[in-house]
Structure formats: C-alpha cells, structure tokens
Structure 1
Amino acid sequence: MSLPAFCATTGMLDAAATAARLPWSGLADEIAALLRDGSVAVPARSMLPLAHGGSLFVMPATDHSVAMIKLITLTPGNAGTGRASIQGDVLVFDCATGERRLVLDGPTVTARRTAAVSLLAARLLAPAPQGPLLIVGAGVQGRSHAEAFIQGLGVREVWVASRSSASALALAAQVQALGAQARVVADADAAAPHCPLIVTCTTARRVVLAAAPRPDAFVAAVGAFTPAMLELAPALCRHLAQQGQIVVDSPDAGHEAGDLLQAGLDVAAMPVLGDVVQGRWTAGSGPVLFKSCGWAGWDLAAARLAMRTAMHDA
C-alpha cells in the first residue's frame, strides 16, 4: 500500500523538525506497537571502523510499508571540540513505490528513540516509577532521558552525576526549566540508595556505578553498546541477576552488552523487551536492570511515527 502523496517531495528535516515529529509518549507507544508487528524485519547492523578512532554504523529495517536506513558516524575524538560525536541521517522510503519520503536528523533520532525505549521499559518494569531519578552522565542522552522521564513518566525530581560539573549544572538547569526539581551530586554510588530510577548514559569505558541499588530500583544502562565498553561494575550486574532480574532491549545485546558480558552472564538467555510487551515475560520481585544497546527497530519506530505526524501536519 503506497504512502500518501503529501510527501512526494522528500522532506529534509533538521534537528528541531525531527524532534517535533517524535513526542516522547507517542514514540514509546510506537516502539511498543512495532514490537507487536510481525511484518518488521531488522537485520544485524554493520559497523565499519574509521581512521582516527571513529566508526560508521549502517542500520536498515523495514515493515510492510516503510523502509529506513540509518547512517551515522560516531567520532569520540570530537568530544570537547564543538563538533558532535554522533552525526548522520535516517532515510525513510515507501516500500510500495521505492520513493524516498523523509530524511530525518540522525543524532536526534538516536537521542529520542534511545530515551523512549528506556521510557517504555520503565513504564512496564519500574517498581517505583515516580522517582526520584538519578542520571549518571550529563551529555545528549542524559538530557534526553531527563526530558523523557519528566514528560512521559511524570518524574518530579532528578539527581545528576557527571564527571563534568559544568555539564551537570547545565542539565540541572534544563531539568528545572521543565518544571522538575534538580540536584547535582558528586557521587553516583552515594546517591543510588535514594533513587528508585537510575539511568547510566555515559560513553565511559570504566565503571560509573558500582553500588547495589534499592530493592525497588529500575536501572536503565544505555551507554555501553560494545563488548569492550561498560558502565556498571561486574559485581553489580551479578547482584542484579541474583537478587532481581535483567531485561535486554533486543537479541543483539547477546554480543553487544559489554556490562553483562564482562560480568560473565548469559545474555542470550535473558528476556528481551519484546517478551515484556507481548506478555511472554513478567518481572518478579527485586530490582530490575534494563540493558539497552540500540537496535534499528527503534529507528524504524521513529520513522513510522515521523511519517504519521508529517501526514497530520500536511
């Protein structure tokens, strides 16, 4: 079935226009709908190492009517230079005609779909979704998760821990602008017992959280997405596996979830978010760790929602 003719001319959307088409609650709902859609096909993503320590990611996905491919570069060396670490685009096509319909801003899609996946997981799995929320890492994902949890979950208090005090203060100001209380903390481990919601979203290759969380905690770990990366201490991951439960975002986490792999855990045997959405798995007692590595299906969900919001605006 061909998509509507309103977008016969490709829409090139900048960061602001892309964000406007991806509201938090709507995107979380679209991700849940995608996980129930049997027509979705998502091959493994390709990663090509680049000179100077960067990487090129190629991530395609399709359903019965929309095809998309995300092309982004990750350049850690850009940190502190004023250039973005993540750059690229998401191209959206009409399956029936083969026409390109939209070009979305890749970093915006990455930021919003990652936080929306965490939001959906928190809605389904968090024992105490009211917060307070502790965010470890005050970069793009820290800002996205703060906004998603405030606007989509109703969180009213956010604690921020970051290696950069300037970044932590900037995020705290943004939290306050969204109408929530903010507190900057120097030690994430010391703050963890006070916060039933925790998000780690750093690009660190060293441990940023080691303290055991509360029995009613929901922890979303999104920063480590290769086997060589980790944010959570191995002992913490093993504690969560023994005292609570661990859910991963997709089967690809079996070879990508550095936190869990370095803890010696059998990631392939863990439930995925789709199992929760489809009612095949329910959480028991104890803390919950949601480990997110990224998956092109989340980008496809964003592409589907952007197409519908563009139709509504036409």
Structure 2
Amino acid sequence: MTQPPHSPSPDSLNAEATAALLPWRALADEIAALLRDDSVLVPARIVMPMAGDASLFAMPACDARVAMTKLITLTPANAGTGRASIQGDVVVFDVATGERRLILDGPTITARRTAAVSLLAAQRLAPTRRGPLLVIGAGTQGLAHLQAFVAGLDVTEVFVASRSQASAEALAQAARDLGVPARAVADADSAAAECPLIVTCTPANAVVLRAAPRADAFIAAVGAFTPRMAELDAGLCRDLARTGQVVVDTTDAVHEAGDLIQAGMDVAALPTLADLERGRWRPGPGPVLFKCCGWGGWDLAAARLALRGAPSQSR
C-alpha cells in the first residue's frame, strides 16, 4: 500500500520569534480586518477547570484560508515561582490542504493580541489619544499594553500602579527604555485624574479603580474574564455607562464580563468592537470603557498575520 507523502514539519517559533511576526500597529490592523471578514468562524471556547484553580483553554477559529487552535493552561499558583502562569501553543493550519504551517508561542500570542485589541479600541474610541497613560498591573499584560499604546498612540508619560512596588518600578523603567517618561505611583485613583488613557490588567481578585475618570478618558479593562472577577468598582461602571459609553470586545462578554455583570448592567445590550468596525454603532461624547474578555478570533488574527510574515512562507 502506497503511503501518502510526508508533510514537512511546521516551523515551531519561540516567544521572541513569535513576537517579531506581530508588530503592534499591523496586528491592530489585522484585528480590524478580521472583524470585517464574513468567512470567520469562532466557536465558543472550552475552559476546563483543573486542580488548584488552574484551567485548560481550547480556542479554535478559522476563516476561508487559515485555521488555528490555541491550547493553553492558566496556572495561577505559578505566580512567584519562576514558572509562567500561561503556557501553551497556537497551531496554525492551511484550510485548503489541512497542513500544519506554524506552531506559535501561546503566551506571546495571548499577550500581544490582547494588547492589540485594546490598541484598536483606543484608536477608534479614545476621545484623547495623546497624553499620560496609567497602567494598573505590572505583569505580562501590563508590559504588552505599555508597548502597544506607546507604539500606536501619542503617549507622553506613563504612570504605573501595582501591588508590588518592585514590579511597578520595573515597568516604569521599561517605559523609559521606550523613550517615555514614567514613574510608579501608589494611588491609581489619584493618578487617573491626570490620564486620558487607562489600562487595568491585574489578576482581578480585587477592585483596583474606583474614582470617576476624566471626561475624555478611555479605559481598557482586560484583567477580569469570568463572572466572579472584577477590577472596576460597580459604581464606576454604572457611572461610565451614564456619562459616556461602555463597549465590549464580543458578545461572549454577556457571560464573562465580571466587572459589568456585578454592576448589574445589561451586557447583551452593549455595542461590540465588531458593531463599531462594521458601522452598526458610533460613539457619542464622554468617557469610554472598553471591556475585553478574550476571543478566539483575536488569536486567528494573530495567526493570519504571523503566517504571512513567517520566513517559511516566502520560500
């Protein structure tokens, strides 16, 4: 019996090589293009609980040409151990042939696509795109959002708030390394009064922002992604809905946006990023809260961009 020819092994890229294929502005543009693509299919992600509050995530998605699955673990107990809290891979396939094309670093994809979604939302929705940025949470997502916002917006100064002074100082130094003045702050609510751009990206086990922001503020809240999690005070969420607008990344937020759910808001009635990109909704005046819970489509956008730029694809 004749065996089919063996397909070549796909390129397996480490974190650095994966990041190099996903420049911030290009990734935000790819996410916008994906939202306009009618061929995109994204089933509900599978989140399987494991021992020790850990979870296994399986997130497939495809369009007419590219398919991918992200398979990652989230292990909160790894914090402070030297082991990453998020581990795993994104496997990219060619739809026409079924061949594997790339294996990308899962944590890098997660960090960069999440920050790029926030960047796209800020590019489209922020009343003021220039000025100080407040980053609340100095972990992986804090660094990714810092890099994305500095690359894609007119950030003039950075304030960093974190439970760990050492982590806050390290992220402030990362901002200075990018050429932006930065300092660690002890009180996020006080710093918010100076910042038209705010990102909350904490483990979401406690409220980290309560004060009413500036009238021209844009807040990206990305740390909470289950109904039980919240970074933002419930009253703050309701005030933002009353004085400005609240936008969610996808309709999945109905079941996952803990900040909004705990505030008693009708999440199903809120506009999504796709509504904005497809012209079904336009923002009005006032501050903006963008609530992001995550979606396999964001990973597909990253896979599409990475596949076009991978060296093996040009040979």
TM-score tier, shorter chain, comes to over 0.9
TM-score (norm 2): 0.96
Q: Look up the match of 1:4.
A: none
- Residue deviations 1:232-291, cap 9 Å, x none? 000000000111100000010010000000000000110000111111111101100000
- Amino acid of the residue matched to residue 148 of structure 2? A
Instruction: Spell out the pairing of 1:129-144 with structure 2 (5 A cutoff).
Output: 129-144=129-144
In the TM superposition, residue 8 of structure 1 has moved relative to its aligned partner by 4.8
Aligned partner of residue 70 in structure 1, secondary structure: strand
In the TM superposition, residue 154 of structure 1 has moved relative to its aligned partner by 2.9
**Cα distance in 2, alignment partners of residues 71 and 121 from structure 1:** 26
- Amino acid of the residue matched to residue 144 of structure 2? S
Q: For the Cα contact (< 8 Å) 1:156–1:179, is it kept in 2?
A: no
Q: For the Cα contact (< 8 Å) 1:58–1:71, is it kept in 2?
A: yes
**Cα distance in 1, alignment partners of residues 314 and 180 from structure 2:** 30
RMSD: 1.1
Q: Look up the match of 2:293.
A: 293
In the TM superposition, residue 131 of structure 1 has moved relative to its aligned partner by 2.2
Q: Look up the match of 2:81.
A: 81
Instruction: Spell out the pairing of 1:32-47 with structure 2 (5 A cutoff).
Output: 32-47=32-47
Q: For the Cα contact (< 8 Å) 1:134–1:160, is it kept in 2?
A: yes
Identical positions, percent: 69
In the TM superposition, residue 140 of structure 1 has moved relative to its aligned partner by 0.3
**Cα distance in 2, alignment partners of residues 52 and 198 from structure 1:** 32
Q: How many residues matched?
A: 308
Moved over 2 A (4+): 311-314
- Amino acid of the residue matched to residue 293 of structure 2? C
Instruction: Spell out the pairing of 1:178-193 with structure 2 (5 A cutoff).
Output: 178-193=178-193
- Amino acid of the residue matched to residue 103 of structure 1? I
Aligned partner of residue 71 in structure 2, secondary structure: strand
Instruction: Spell out the pairing of 1:16-55 with structure 2 (5 A cutoff).
Output: 16-55=16-55
- Residue deviations 1:34-91, cap 9 Å, x none? 0000000000001000112100001000000100000000000000000000000000
Q: Look up the match of 1:70.
A: 70
Q: Does 1:270 align with 2:270?
A: yes
**Cα distance in 2, alignment partners of residues 117 and 226 from structure 1:** 18
- Amino acid of the residue matched to residue 230 of structure 2? L
In structure 1, runs of 5+ residues without a counterpart are: 1-6
- Amino acid of the residue matched to residue 268 of structure 1? A
**Cα distance in 2, alignment partners of residues 154 and 97 from structure 1:** 43
Aligned partner of residue 134 in structure 2, secondary structure: strand
In structure 2, runs of 5+ residues without a counterpart are: 1-6
Instruction: Spell out the pairing of 1:203-242 with structure 2 (5 A cutoff).
Output: 203-242=203-242
